[in-house]
Structure 1
């Protein structure tokens, strides 16, 4: 997945909005004002084999699963500028399968929604 397909997938989630509290270079994806993902250019203008900029996706994650994903995929690292225990950064360099990235996005969204008050969870569930 590249930044465009990741963005499209993130925006398909119900009640998602984008903010840029960290500057114009970092899109923060929120559901009900709670962050579940960030998308930004990789640090220091990192490029892939074809010269395209590599983007980084931060996602919330269960701590045990976060470590397991880091062990499986070299392009999954502790969350850049995030709580390293609860967040992973996925380097979108083409080495992590699309289905796995989508699953990680779904899990991040679900973790954030699960910590919301019941009223908010029900409102979001209406859109699923």
Structure 2
């Protein structure tokens, strides 16, 4: 899987949609005007002030980022591992537990196709 401008934009749109869906129904329209997930997340944090609802939204977003994790052909294996480890650490802070075996498989499956001959899954 390669990162492209289109792919990143698609992931950003998916993240934005996930954030909006995670909000209570009464608040979804208030936040619909934010066009990217970063601005939307900042507005959610400002509105909810780190309460239970914003933590839930953050956890959902992190879980989605973990599910969609993919290595870039432009980064080294160490950079990919560090990025995955940072994401897992953020999930653990939110109370999510990722098993070592699952993390290893996620790393191997996220590698670009040119690595497939080196890492059999």
Determine if the TM-score, normalized by the shorter chain, exceeds 0.5.
no
Asked which structure has the greater CA Rg, the reply is 2
Structure with greater helix share of residues: 2
Structure with greater strand share of residues: 1
**Greater relative contact order, per chain length (Cα 8 Å cut-off, separation 6+):** 2
Question: Normalising by structure 2, what TM-score?
Answer: 0.33
Question: Normalising by structure 1, what TM-score?
Answer: 0.32
